[in-house]
Copies of this chain bind each other. A is one copy, B any other.
Amino acid sequence: MSAPHTDVEKVEAANTSFYAALEQGDFELLSALWLSPSDVDVDETYHDPADAGVISCVHPGWPVLSGRGEVLRSYALIMANTDYIQFFLTDTHVSVTGDTALVTCTENILSGGPAPAEGDELGPLLGQLVVATNVFRRTAAGWKLWSHHASPVLAGSEEEDDEESPA
């Protein structure tokens, strides 16, 4: 592939790594993929310093989580309650401008909860259709996640129809 595609490829690789870290239950890798205050340029003077590099995360059906503390705690909790999870990504779309990248993708999820304490049955297996918008920022240590917003697809069709949901 030619040079102009490099950033797009790097962002797509970072996006893939994010889901791989979740599949592997690799909390350290996951933590390293999220933007941290040390990644943020000191010459950013445009915004409120309190907001510098604050990450945000919305899991399907959840409210907004803000900051590394809340976000990473939620993943620790999810990993503790997930024995098995696999993401089949489709419709991945990457757009890069300057030092920011926007990724949209469909997460076709197959997951399993913890097995019941008694007996040797497996936990329940669950299929979910989720869409995600992931925003990455370029840092000295590579592209890092700034925002992840995932939500369940409740409509039956790919086409818009008479939905009740307005915004």
A interface residues (Cβ-Cβ under 8 A, vs B): 4-5, 7-8, 19, 22, 40-41, 44-48, 51-54, 56, 58-66, 70, 73-74, 77-78, 81-82, 85, 87, 91, 93-100, 102, 104-107, 109, 111, 113, 126, 128, 130-133, 135, 137, 146-155, 158, 160, 162-167
Contact = CB atoms under 8 A, between A and B. Distances in A.
A62 B149 contact: no
B153 A5 contact: no
Contacts of A137: 97
Give chain A's interface secondary structure class.
mixed
A164 B113 contact: yes
Contacts of A96: 46-47, 51
